[in-house]
Amino acid sequence: MRILFSNKKKSKYLYHALNLALERITDDKFKWQNICDEAAEKIKQFEACEQELQNTTLKIWVSGYSIARWLSEYRSNNGYFTNHPLRLSRINQWPPIFNYHPDIIMKFITFGKCNLDVPLTAESMHHYMMNELVPEVVSKVREEVDLTQRQILKLYKLLKLCIGTIYNWMGLVGFKQNVRRKAYYVDEHEHPYNVLYRKRYIQEYLKLEYRCFLWIVLNEANVKELEEEDNKFLRKYGFKFVENGNTFYEFHVDDHPSFQDRCKYLQFGDHISKRKNVRDKSVIMIGQDEAIFKQYLLTL
Model pLDDT, residue 108: 92
What's the half-sphere exposure (Cβ side, CA atoms, 13 Å) at 115? 16
29-53 per-position pLDDT tens digit: 778 888 888 888 887 776 665 555 4
Query: What percentage of the chain reaches a pLDDT higher than 90?
Result: 4
User: In the chain, pLDDT over 70 holds for what percent of residues?
Assistant: 80
For residues 213-232, give the mean pLDDT: 86
Checking if the pLDDT of 299 tops 60, the result is: no
HSE-up of residue 198 (Cα within 13 Å, Cβ side): 8
Please state the rounded mean pLDDT for residues 264-273. 78
Distance CA 115, CA 97 (A): 22
CA distance 15 to 39: 9
Q: Which residues contact 261 (CB under 8 A, 6 or more apart)?
A: none
Q: What is the reported pLDDT for 82?
A: 62
Q: What is the pLDDT of residue 111?
A: 92
Contact call for residues 235 and 249 (beta carbons, < 8 A): yes
pTM: 0.35
Structure confidence at residue 264 as a pLDDT band (50, 70, 90): confident
Identify the weakest region by mean pLDDT among 58-62, 88-92, 117-121. 88-92
218: β partners: 249
Q: Residue 300: pLDDT above 50?
A: no
Q: Residue 56: is its pLDDT beyond 70?
A: no
In this prediction, residue 180 carries a pLDDT of 61
pLDDT (mean) for 165-169: 88
C-alpha span between 108 and 169 (Å, rounded):
9
What pLDDT band is residue 290 in, cutting at 50, 70 and 90? low
Give pLDDT tens digits for 97-112: 888 888 888 899 999 9
* pLDDT confidence of residue 67: 82
Alpha carbon 10 to its chain centroid, in Å, reads 42
With 50 as the cut, is the pLDDT of residue 206 above it? yes
295 compared with 118, residue with greater pLDDT = 118
Give pLDDT, residue 52: 52
Q: How confident is the model at residue 72 (pLDDT cuts 50, 70, 90)?
A: confident
